[in-house]
Amino acid sequence: MNELILTTYDWVPETPRGYVRDLRARWALEEANLAYKVVSTPFKDRGASHYEHHPFGQIPWLTDGDLTIFESGAILLHIGERSDSLLPTDPHQRSQVIQWVFAALNSVEMPSVPWSIYQFMNDQEETPGRQGLNQFLEARLQHMDNVLDAREWLTEDFSIADILMSDVLRLVDRFDGLSDYAACRSYVARAVARPCFNKAYNDQLAHFAAAD
Amino acid sequence: MNELILTTYDWVPETPRGYVRDLRARWALEEANLAYKVVSTPFKDRGASHYEHHPFGQIPWLTDGDLTIFESGAILLHIGERSDSLLPTDPHQRSQVIQWVFAALNSVEMPSVPWSIYQFMNDQEETPGRQGLNQFLEARLQHMDNVLDAREWLTEDFSIADILMSDVLRLVDRFDGLSDYAACRSYVARAVARPCFNKAYNDQLAHFAAAD
């Protein structure tokens, strides 16, 4: 087995700390109990070699031998495939987890990140498009609340889908967007209470603080 | 092998026709040359059995024996795994395709669908958040233009990633959002020139027209 290498920025501004996407990979690696190291790429002056690893000039990417993988969803699928616990091998259970991975990233995060841009900018103007975006997010959160009201995790056992979905909802919660969705709030609280989340979160904060 | 069953709405309004997400699944099934049939679920009055198949009350879902799968990304991954051509078995090539699947759905569609909501509503107001959203989309399109300038498809051969990425970009193109991105436009043109796209597109239009 190759040692896994996770690349993140050397530094980021204060605001995104604790929410930078290397956290998803760190958390999954901790849950999977896989050996890994974290290396840095410059936040400022992103060069051609950065774009070779990540076509959008973002982070993280994961290196596994001569494989290099960008996109947090693809990285977590890869970690899941190397783990005994985060992605079941039974075809039914595996299919359940994979559809929830996409639900987190394509059905919930699709409205939540654009919504968070407005929150970051403290933009309160209720134009028709903005109302459409808010309704889009609220509908998805209401459906998630119905789903999460009846279960501890998205599938039988905690999986990569829960890492992604709870991290997506955590950003909404940061801006008090879960106040009407008690089951979503409880789910996020359960997820962030896991020791591996805490390890990943504190490691990310320490990584960026070391560069200040 | 089970016969695959794709469920879509019985009817949708005029505007989304040709862009409803069953198209991605139809297109992949045609490219993969897999036998399938299409069945309908009511667009109006979505009942409890709809939510059992799709927790967000959307479509499509794919039934394969006793497996039922929602999320277009998960459906295409499943079709890819049953196909000889749309998802390579070589681990390196497979990993490349999977990261581009997530790139389409989580890096490009995340800003493009919210942006399209503003276009649908003809909302032109340039608030700070709206400018943030526009810049988010433009940055992603510029990076995609750089990537696509040098290649025919995202990976060596046409794959499920191209179905998803070209369908994501096609919606941007519908609202003239690709006018500054010639390589993205050419890529969409190459994709929609494929006979299997045409079959899927015309089948979708005929399906909804039959219910008028």
Q: Using CB atoms within 10 A of its CB, is residue A44 exposed (0-12), middle (13-18) or buried (19+)?
A: exposed
Model confidence at B1, pLDDT cuts 50, 70, 90, reads: confident
Q: Using CB atoms within 10 A of its CB, is residue B106 exposed (0-12), middle (13-18) or buried (19+)?
A: buried
Across the range B3-7, mean pLDDT stands at 96
- Domain chopping of chain B, boundaries: 4-85+196-209, 91-194
Name the residue among B73, B74, B99 with its Cβ closest to that of A69.
B99
- Walk along chain A (212 residues) and give the pLDDT tens digit of each residue: 788 999 999 999 999 999 999 999 999 999 999 999 999 999 999 999 999 999 999 999 999 999 999 999 999 999 999 997 999 999 999 999 999 999 999 999 999 999 999 999 999 999 999 999 999 999 999 999 999 999 999 999 999 999 999 999 999 999 999 999 999 999 999 999 999 999 999 999 999 999 98
Q: In a mutagenesis test of the B interface, which of A106, A126, A168 is the best target, namely the one with the most B β-carbons within 10 Å? A: A106
User: For the domain A4-85+196-209, what is the CATH code?
Assistant: 3.40.30.10
Q: Is B111 on the interface with A (CB under 8 A)?
A: yes
Joined tokens for residue A95: 């299919």
CB contact (8 A) between residue A91 and residue B55: no
Question: Tell me, what's the pLDDT at A84?
Answer: 78
Least confident stretch, A44-48, B138-142, B143-147: A44-48
Across the range B88-105, mean pLDDT stands at 97
What gap in Å lies between CA A168 and CA A139, rounded to an integer?
A: 15
For residue A69, the chain B residue with the least C-alpha distance is B99
Q: Using CB atoms within 10 A of its CB, is residue B54 exposed (0-12), middle (13-18) or buried (19+)?
A: buried
Q: Using CB atoms within 10 A of its CB, is residue A10 exposed (0-12), middle (13-18) or buried (19+)?
A: middle
> What tens digit of pLDDT does each residue of B22-35 get?
999 999 999 999 99
* Neighbouring C-beta atoms of residue B138, cutoff 10 Å: 15
Strand order in the sheet with A67-70: A36-41, A4-9, A61-64, A67-70
Q: In a mutagenesis test of the A interface, which of B89, B90, B106, B154 is the best target, namely the one with the most A β-carbons within 10 Å? A: B106
* DSSP conformation class of A122: T
Residue B212 has pLDDT above 90, yes or no: no
What gap in Å lies between CA A199 and CA A177, rounded to an integer?
A: 25
- Respond yes or no on whether ipTM tops 0.95: yes
Is residue B32 within 8 A of residue B86, CB to CB? The reply is yes
> What tens digit of pLDDT does each residue of B28-70 get?
999 999 999 999 999 999 999 999 999 999 999 999 999 999 9
User: For the domain A91-194, what is the CATH code?
Assistant: 1.20.1050.10
Residue B142 has pLDDT above 90, yes or no: yes
Mean pLDDT, chain B, rounded, equals: 97
What gap in Å lies between CA B207 and CA B212, rounded to an integer?
A: 10
- Restricting to B residues 26-45, those with a Cβ less than 8 Å away from any Cβ of A are none
Q: Measured between beta carbons, which residues in chain A are less than 8 angstroms from residue B74? A: 95, 98-99, 101-102
Question: Tell me, what's the pLDDT at A174?
Answer: 97
Residue B76 has pLDDT above 90, yes or no: yes
The reply to whether A91-194 shares the fold of A4-85+196-209 is no
